[in-house]
Amino acid sequence: MSHIKHLLQQLKHRAFLARTDVQKIHQARRLRQDPEFAQQLQNVQEHFELPALPHVSGIWAVAMVKNEQDVIIDSIEHLYAQGIDQILVVDNLSTDSTYAMLQDLSQKYPLIVGKDHEPAYYQSAKMTILSDLALAHGAQWVVPFDADEFWYGTDGSLSQVLKENSSGSRILQASIYNQFPQPDGTWLIDTQAHHDVKVAFKPTKHSIVQMGNHAVLRSGVPELEKLMIIHRPWRSLEQFIRKIRQGARSLELTNLPQELGYHWRVLGESSDAELEELWNKLVTGQEVPEVVAWRPKGKLTTLATKTPQSWSEVSEVLS
């Protein structure tokens, strides 16, 4: 009897997951047909300037970047070292050397560089279009990344974990561990994971990457613990102030709900002097307001190298 009960529970759970999958697919289709979001998608496509894309079967990493010259080289080289098959990046009106650096990197790595001429912060629409392009050109997995993120697999490289994926999951969540600079130039990593996650996923023609790359609207139950990220949100006082200012300005150009990007909006109202005070508190381990979303949560510790080659080097100091 216990065996029959267990079998019935399994069948009931599978039926629940099947219904949930159908609901997600319908939700994604409805959102793509929603006039406002559909207009965002169309507008983004019209403002993208891209070269011809090659057909590459495998793992694609996609990103939109702006003024990331201090980190973009390390970010792209790390993805390549993790076995990514193709990288697609659009530069969003950078005023520093980011675009030129990306062009140089494209001569050495499987990197396609385009331009994003839309100043408004329609991140979900932009990342969704990049995912669509990746799918149309051979992507079996999509990794939506930010320039300040360094992705890892917990049991092997990022590409090994995605390609081997023995559980058959279609969405893998990545835990985020923030890394912060210190006044003496060293970097410390927070031993407590951030409350948000990021996702890598198998793309479909209905998939929608949601705001912040924290989730994807598609069928499948997200699985945790297979992917990890070292995140460097704040890297210098100048970058701290610039990122807050450009984030707030880009959101002002949208008609997105006020709760989306709330931390950019609130911090954007601060003066340079107030932001400098926040920065000094961040790098000296003092408490900062919750509106500073990327802030230390737990004990800070050092790593043997700033950018480890594998997650095993990180897990040693987190335990």
Clarify whether residues 165 and 288 are in a common domain: no
Give the tokens for residue 94. 């950078």
Clarify whether residues 65 and 129 are in a common domain: yes
User: Domain boundary at 231, 250, 275, which?
Assistant: 231
Clarify whether residues 129 and 257 are in a common domain: no
Q: Residue 170's closest CA among 134, 147, 204?
A: 204
Q: What is the separation of C-alpha 126 from the centre of its chain, rounded to a whole number of angstroms?
A: 13
Cα gap 124→211, rounded to integer Å: 5
Clarify whether residues 174 and 260 are in a common domain: no
Can you give the pTM of this predicted structure? 0.92
Q: Is residue 1 in a domain?
A: no
Strand partners, 273: none
Query: Are the C-beta atoms of 150 and 77 separated by less than 8 Å?
Result: no
Clarify whether residues 199 and 123 are in a common domain: yes
Clarify whether residues 201 and 285 are in a common domain: no
Cβ neighbours of residue 238 closer than 8 Å, sequence gap 6 or more? none
Distances (CA, A) of 127 to 63, 133, 234, 239: 7, 10, 22, 23
Phi, psi of 302 (to 5 degrees): -95, 155
Give the tokens for residue 200. 């890598």
Query: Are the C-beta atoms of 255 and 126 separated by less than 8 Å?
Result: no
Cα gap 101→10, rounded to integer Å: 52
Q: Is residue 149 in a domain?
A: yes
Clarify whether residues 199 and 67 are in a common domain: yes
Exposure of 52 in the CB half-sphere (CA atoms within 13 A): 2
Cα gap 80→158, rounded to integer Å: 10
Q: Residue 80's closest CA among 51, 47, 108, 104?
A: 108
Clarify whether residues 107 and 179 are in a common domain: yes
Q: Is residue 202 in a domain?
A: yes
Clarify whether residues 131 and 37 are in a common domain: yes
CATH number, domain with residue 192: 3.90.550
Clarify whether residues 217 and 86 are in a common domain: yes
Total of domains in the chain: 2
Provide the residue range defining the domain that includes 61: 28-231
Q: Is residue 21 in a domain?
A: no
Q: Is residue 123 in a domain?
A: yes
pLDDT string in tens for the chain (319-residue length): 566 665 556 655 466 555 667 788 888 899 999 999 999 999 999 999 999 999 999 999 999 999 999 999 999 999 999 999 999 999 999 999 999 999 999 999 999 999 999 999 999 999 999 999 999 999 999 999 999 999 999 999 999 999 999 788 999 999 999 999 999 999 999 999 999 999 999 999 999 999 999 999 999 999 999 999 999 999 999 999 999 999 999 999 998 888 888 889 999 999 999 999 999 999 988 999 999 999 999 999 999 999 999 999 999 998 7
Q: Is residue 35 in a domain?
A: yes
Give the tokens for residue 154. 């917990």
